């Protein structure tokens, strides 16, 4: 870049080091004639400032200004550039752990607040901090953030099936975005095993149809290059000194042993993991996955078009009925839910709750039966008491009536005797 002579005359070794520096931290010097200079003070005398000043666009040099010609200095806010880094924190991403929140708080937000206590963005930073703390508290208590929405622990519990299906689906999409195709396809297998008829599963299956050709291309390149890599490694070893060769061979042997162990584990668990781990020096696993790509493309072309089922509603209805203490309804929904082949974990969580609800229902029925029996007994006792009182009252009434007759007869006899 060719600079004007006037600019060259004020450039020193110091200013050359900062030739393309940013003006983000520069102060604004307002002169009495209305002109402004962006820069920072290098040194000061009784009547002047020496500045590192912007002398033309993105070009800096030293400049001296007289204090008598200066109207004011508008100090820059160095926190502005630092705050820009905080603006990308919110909204937070899905599936963040409490540890992730703590990392952001401790490494970004709190240092900003401590370093710039007088920043014009201090309140904004504090709002970000409060948001992070509140979200972190929800996560710590068992909540989760999915598709931009924060779910409390109670909301997760009430809708656990759909929440878990969404979590697995988001893991699938994250792997796919990172082009970690085997991990994505393995995650799809988990989704199909536990949440086979969900919308999340269908979306992942359709996305997999786009992933599979890319994975196939990647695998084919690896397959075509295996022999070349083995030959290169062989030649490299042959060109090494004996000691270096021995050490390197041990490293290769150790790495192959680790891979073989991983491969053996995957092979033994083919039901849950059809995609074998890949190593650039092993053809057979690559060939296995290439064959699996073709099989999966055929299968998913049909499977991805199957209708979905709102299994999450069956789970929610079961959960709601249990909360209401309605065992018969809960059992009905649970049986339907169980037939959809959900994750065993959810079955194991619901089963004891159903047993508790059944026990509570039977106990309530027993107590109600005892209550009714007691009420019936009391009613019978009360009826007997009233009958007894009635009999006694009737008896007493008869006695009173007989006594009255006798009194009349005695009176008549007395009157008769007196008249004689």
pLDDT at site 275 = 95
Report the pLDDT averaged over residues 273-278: 93
Distance between CA atoms of residues 167 and 165, nearest Å: 5
pLDDT at site 181 = 97
Other beta carbons within 10 Å of 328: 10
Q: Tell me: the pLDDT tens digits for 287-305?
A: 999 999 999 999 999 999 9
Task: Tell me the H-state helices in 28-158.
Answer: 79-86, 98-104, 110-115, 122-140, 153-158
Report the pLDDT averaged over residues 43-65: 89
Chain-wide mean pLDDT for the chain?
89
Confidence band for 329, pLDDT divided at 50, 70 and 90: very high
Lowest mean pLDDT among 34-43, 200-209, 224-233: 34-43
pLDDT at site 405 = 66
pTM of the entire predicted model: 0.72
Using left for φ > 0, alpha for ψ between -120 and 50, and beta otherwise, residue 4 falls in: beta
Assess contact for 306 and 197: CB atoms under 8 A: yes
pLDDT at site 320 = 96
pLDDT at site 25 = 60
- List the beta bridge partners of residue 29: 37, 73
Domains in the chain: ranges and CATH: 5-76 (2.30.30.100), 80-154 (no CATH), 159-249+283-303 (no CATH)
Q: Is the pLDDT of residue 14 over 50?
A: no
Confidence band for 152, pLDDT divided at 50, 70 and 90: very high
Tokens representing 98?
Answer: 């409490």
pLDDT at site 389 = 82
Confidence band for 1, pLDDT divided at 50, 70 and 90: very low
């Amino acid at each position: 870049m060719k600079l004007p002579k006037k600019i060259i005359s004020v450039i020193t070794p110091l200013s050359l080091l900062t030739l393309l520096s940013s003006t983000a931290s520069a102060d604004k010097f307002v002169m009495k004639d209305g002109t402004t200079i962006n820069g920072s003070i290098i040194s000061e005398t009784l009547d002047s400032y020496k500045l590192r000043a912007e002398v033309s666009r993105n070009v800096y040099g030293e400049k001296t200004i007289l204090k008598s010609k200066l109207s004011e200095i508008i100090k820059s806010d160095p926190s502005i550039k630092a705050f820009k880094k905080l603006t990308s924190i919110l909204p937070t991403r899905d599936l963040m752990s409490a540890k992730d929140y703590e990392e952001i708080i401790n490494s970004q937000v709190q240092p900003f607040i401590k370093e710039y206590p007088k920043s014009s963005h201090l309140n904004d930073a504090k709002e970000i901090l409060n948001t992070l703390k509140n979200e972190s508290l929800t996560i710590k208590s068992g909540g989760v953030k999915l598709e931009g929405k924060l779910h409390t622990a109670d909301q997760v519990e009430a809708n656990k099936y759909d929440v878990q299906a969404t979590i697995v689906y988001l893991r699938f999409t994250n792997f796919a975005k990172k082009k970690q195709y085997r991990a994505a396809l393995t995650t799809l297998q988990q989704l199909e095993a536990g949440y086979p008829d969900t919308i999340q599963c269908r979306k992942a299956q359709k996305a997999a149809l786009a992933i599979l050709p890319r994975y196939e291309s990647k695998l084919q390149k690896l397959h075509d290059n295996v022999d070349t890599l083995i030959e290169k490694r062989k030649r490299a070893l042959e060109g090494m000194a004996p000691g270096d060769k021995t050490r390197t061979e041990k490293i290769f042997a150790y790495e192959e042993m680790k891979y073989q162990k991983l491969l053996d584990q995957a092979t033994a668990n083919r039901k849950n993991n059809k995609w074998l781990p890949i190593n650039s020096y092993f053809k057979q696993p690559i060939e296995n996955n290439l064959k699996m790509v073709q099989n999966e493309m055929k299968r998913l072309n049909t499977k991805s078009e199957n209708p979905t089922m709102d299994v999450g509603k069956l789970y929610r209805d079961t959960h709601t009925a249990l909360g209401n203490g309605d065992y018969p309804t809960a059992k009905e929904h649970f049986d339907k839910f169980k037939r959809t082949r959900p994750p065993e974990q959810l079955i194991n969580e619901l089963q004891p709750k159903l047993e508790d609800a059944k026990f509570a229902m039977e106990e309530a029925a027993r107590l109600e039966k005892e209550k009714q029996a007691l009420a019936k007994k009391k009613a019978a006792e009360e009826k007997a008491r009233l009958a007894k009182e009635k009999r006694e009252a009737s008896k007493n009434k008869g006695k009173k009536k007989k006594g009255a007759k006798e009194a009349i007869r005695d009176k008549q006899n007395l009157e008769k005797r007196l008249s004689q």
